[in-house]
Amino acid sequence: MIDAEEDRRLLEDMGLRPVINASGYPSRLGGGHLAPSVVAAMSAAARTFVPIAEMQAKASELIAELLGAEAGCVASGADACLTIAAAACITRSDLAAMDRLPDTTGLRNEIVVHRAHRNAFDHALRVTGARFVEFGYLGPASGVGAYKWQMDAAFSERTAAAYYVDMPTSSVIDFASFVEIAHDHGVPVIVDAAPTPLPPANLRRWIDLGADLVAYAGGKFIGGPAASGFLAGRRDLVRAATMQQQDAFVHPEVFVPPFSGGSDTTQEPPHQGLGRILKVGREEIAGLMAALRLIATRDFKAEMRSRARISEKLAKVVSDCGVPGVNVTYDEISCAVTIFFETAQQAAHVVRSLEEGAPRIFVQNTRIYERAIRMMPHCVRDEEVEPMAERLRHCLLSLPRPDR
C-alpha cells in the first residue's frame, strides 16, 4: 500500500521538497511512479546477492519473450543502450576492437542517419568514436526531406550501422524502406525507441519490421527504475553489447561469456569495455524485470481514461479562468494539455510560479519559446488533481499583463 504522506515526510526529513509531476516522465524528475511490486523486487535484490551475469541472462529471456527479439540486456537508460548498441556494431565480437574504443582507427565507424533525426541525445552514439554520415535535407525547400537514393549513397566500406529515431517528422524515409536499404548493404539498424509508448505491440513493431538493435527506456512508459533501460535485438549484437558492459574482471579459467554456446563463444574475457560506465546494479535489473512482467496485467485503456479525466479537468480550469490572451488545447491521443500565452515571458512566469509555490508543480517548459507550456498527467495521483487545479487557477488569474 502506498503511503504518500509517509513518503513525503521521509524526503522532507532529508531536506528535500517533493513536487507534483505534471510533465510526464522527464529524467529531471526521475522518470515515473514505481508499482509496489517493482519496489518490492528492488528491495529484495538490495538485501540479497545474485550474480549480475545471471540476472542479465534472465532479463534477456524476459525481454526476448516480450518483444519477439533474439536477446536483450539491461543498461542504465535508453541512452546507455544506444552507446553499447553503437559499440557492438563497430566491434562485433572482436575483443581487441572492444579494448580500443573509442579509438576506431581502421574500424567501421560510420553511422548513417537522417539529417532530420539528429538530436541532442545522439552524443550517446558518438561517444563510442562513431561518426555520423547524414543524408536528406530540412526546411520547406527540401521537398519530402529525404530520398532513398540519398540514403543508398551514404553507405561505404566504413559503415557500421544505420540509426533511426522514433520521433515525429515528415522529412524521413519510412522505416520499412530504411531497414531494407540498410540490410541490402549488410548493415544493422539501431533504433532509439525511448519515446515509444505502450502497449507492447508498439514496442514490438520495431523488431517485427526488422530492426537489429532497439534501445528502450525502462523508467518511462515501462514503469521500471529511472536509471534503467534495455536493449533488444539480434543475439550476436546484443552479446557484443553485453560483453562491453558487464564486469569482466575474472580469470579466463572461470570466465563464462554471455549467451554461452554456439560458434561465437569466446574463451577469454575482454577487459572492462566502454559500457562499463553504463552498468546497472542488481536493484535496477530486478526492478525492471518486475516492471516488464507487470505489463501483461496492466489495463492500458483504464490508464488512458484516468489520464484523460485529469487532463480534461485541467483544460477546463484554464478555459473557465477566461484570462485574455490565454488559450488551451487538449490532445486526446497523448492527453497533453497545452496552454498558450501572449508572450514567452508570461509562459515562463507561470512555470516559475508553479515550481515555487505550494504545492510545487513541475510542467513541461521546453515550449516557452513558442509562448506555451504543456501539462502531462501520466504521473499525477488522484489526490494531487484538486491542489494542482487550484494552484493553476491562482497562477493564471494573477498573471501579469504584457507591456503594450
Give 293-311 pLDDT, tens digit per residue. 999 999 999 999 999 999 9
Q: How many helices (H) and strands (E) does the chain have?
A: 14, 12
C-alpha cell at position 27: 529524467
Is residue 257 over pLDDT 90?
no
Q: What is the pLDDT of residue 379?
A: 95
| C-alpha span between 211 and 206 (Å, rounded) | 6
Q: What is the pLDDT of residue 168?
A: 80
Distances, alpha carbon 35 to alpha carbons 38, 48, 295, in Å: 5, 20, 11
C-alpha cell at position 274: 566502454
Q: What is the pLDDT of residue 1?
A: 53
In the block, cell 531536506 appears at 15
Instruction: Let me know the angle formed at the C-alpha of 52 by 48 and 53, rounded to the nearest 5 degrees.
Output: 140
Count of Cβ atoms closer than 10 Å to residue 313 Cβ: 15
Is residue 170 over pLDDT 90?
no
In the block, cell 561465437 appears at 264
Distances, alpha carbon 112 to alpha carbons 109, 115, 148, 232, 371, in Å: 10, 9, 12, 20, 35
Pinpoint the alpha helices (H) of 211-299: 235-243, 282-294
Q: What is the CA radius of gyration of the chain?
A: 23
Provide the pairing of β-strand 213-217 with 159-165: unpaired
| C-alpha span between 119 and 296 (Å, rounded) | 33
Is residue 404 over pLDDT 60?
no
Count of Cβ atoms closer than 10 Å to residue 195 Cβ: 15
Mean pLDDT to the nearest integer, 388-400: 94
| C-alpha span between 315 and 327 (Å, rounded) | 9
Pinpoint the alpha helices (H) of 216-341: 235-243, 282-294, 300-321
Note the pTM of the prediction, 2 decimals: 0.93
Helix 52-67 crosses helix 200-208 at what angle (to 10 degrees)?
90
Q: What is the pLDDT of residue 400?
A: 86
